[in-house]
Amino acid sequence: MGCSFLQKGWFIVVGFLCFSLIWDVDAGVTLEGTVFVDGRSPIAKTDKDFICATLDWWPPEKCDYGTCSWGQASLLNLDLKNTVFLNAIRAFSPLKIRLGGTLQDKVIYQTEDNPKPCNSFTKNSSVLFGFTEGCLPLARWDELNSFFNQSGALIIFGLNALNGKTIQLDNTATGPWNPTNAASLIRYTVKKGYNIYGWELGNELSGHGVGVGIPVDQYAADTVVLHDLIQDIYKETSLKPLTIGPGGFFDAGWFQQYIAKTNGSLNVITHHIYNLGPGSDEHLIDRILNPSILDSGGDDFPRLQSIVNSSGTSAVAWVGEAGGAYNSGRNQVTNAFVFSFWYLNQLGMASAHDTKTYCRQSLIGGNYGLLNTTTFNPNPDYYSALLWHRLMGRYVLSTNFTGTNMIRAYAHCSKESRGVTLLLINLDGNTTVHAAPDISGTSIEVHKRRRHHRHRSKVILLPHNKQLSVPTREEYHLTPLDGNIRSQTVLLNGKPLTVDSSGAIPALEPSFFNSSEPITVAPYSIVFVHLPSVAIQASSLLRVPFFEIWNSTERLRSYTSGSETYPCPKLNS
């Protein structure tokens, strides 16, 4: 079959471009190809807690295209006593959560020195963003922080960047940011001992903005003010929250100037992604399954990476918000199995271009929540995110699949375990793919490393031998219930993933396969493959600057000189 040969008990898949097609009337098309992974030198490094999700301010009255999909998912009314909600966050240990969205720039914070009664958002189509100004009650801020402490989440809070500004007729917001209200909230937060991972200034106000924009000179000056405020208020603490901005859509010229004009005050530069168009698009699934559109959705990653690398900044790039389809997404599409094709492909492209964190819109709310807005039960993308978080390590390996452009392939050093983890996404609903891994710069470990079979351009199936134990791999196959890609129930290795009666998130258990056999990727399926017996050779090293975002209780730290050198299996230890 194609480029497979059987000789003296050895099955060798030759690592040059070759594949074959076989037609089966019942099963459709079967295709053989090779997934090439360059294990000699990782190409990028993510945060350990790369996965992030958002919580928004939208009230129940937020409607799009005649559908109101937010329910009780606002930061102001979300049920913080829901057991499934708590367990869903705890399962990540930790999950980054960004608090923000469109209405964050219309939020006033009730504080001890501003105890006036809080008014809720009120729908008004004649004002900016369609809602009047709203207020975060101090008691609610206490409740939120108590919940976040329980869940172990790492919190990024989006501050109101329009406070003190005047909106001109051309929809430009002018004048300096008034930090008084934000400073009061931050001081109270420090006083109460609440842990905030980062403070972000503004939401989609960069460039031309969405509804209103802030000129780059003023936005940079406002960011410097926030940075200095954080340094002052947290002066008694050794680990300070990150200064983050601008939380808008990528504009190369604007972002380049913004980085330069913030004068080293910026720790993280964030951009948003809604490349699929409006949620009202009836052809949204066709766009998700189109390889060209998926590829174009990653155009901004290398462009931002280039700007960051050439600017001399110590700031790193995050995706601060990504829902794919704007205006709350589309029911039975952006909350269904099919959306994992877009989402996981985004995670793969972003990480390959040194994006450190990727925040999904949303954790709950709208039609693109990782959790169901009413029941809190996980949608398919929740499990995709959780598997990524548990399996895909920080170090990214160059990966390429030959055979069809309907397979998306990504590889990382495995997380908190030895070896390499592959991610294979099959966009084709009629083709089964047999993928042979070809990992250069590695050895296959056999019998607990007592004997090695080294290879660069071939994958070897060892003959049955009583003196050798054939290495195995772990596979996690995700498929939709009843083969329906619009399903909101996902199967893991053929079994539905559902929470139990106590609200516990189900265990994600792998199936085991002989490592030398090709990986079978069914039509419309996603496969994570952990190859624990593949070890990057000692000569395969990554040299990176001594700079990184540290997770959990640690914050941004930089070292003045030197580099770190690790072989892949130990990178995530």
* Active-site amino acid positions: 204, 321
Cβ contact 289:244 at 8 Å: no
In 3D, which of 89, 216, 183, 213 has the Cα closest to residue 144? 89
Tokens of 97: 């959560």
In 3D, which of 528, 551, 531 has the Cα closest to residue 384? 528
Residue 145 in 3-state DSSP? helix
Tokens of 469: 């134990």
Residue 94 in 3-state DSSP? coil
What CA–CA distance (Å, rounded) separates 223 from 213?
Answer: 15
What CA–CA distance (Å, rounded) separates 169 from 157?
Answer: 29
In 3D, which of 16, 13, 55 has the Cα closest to residue 436? 13
Cβ contact 172:214 at 8 Å: yes
Cβ contact 422:438 at 8 Å: no
Q: Which residue has the tokens 């099959």?
A: 426
Question: Which amino acid is it at 112?
Answer: E
Strand partners, 21: 31
The phi and psi torsions of 128 (rounded to 5 degrees) equal: -55, 130
Measured in whole angstroms, the distance separating CA 493 from the mean position of its chain's CA atoms is: 23
DSSP string covering 271-322 = EEE-TTEETT-TTHHHHHT-HHHHHHTTTHHHHHHHHHHHHT---EEEEEEE
Compute the radius of gyration of the chain from its Cα atoms: 24
In 3D, which of 423, 421, 353, 418 has the Cα closest to residue 384? 423
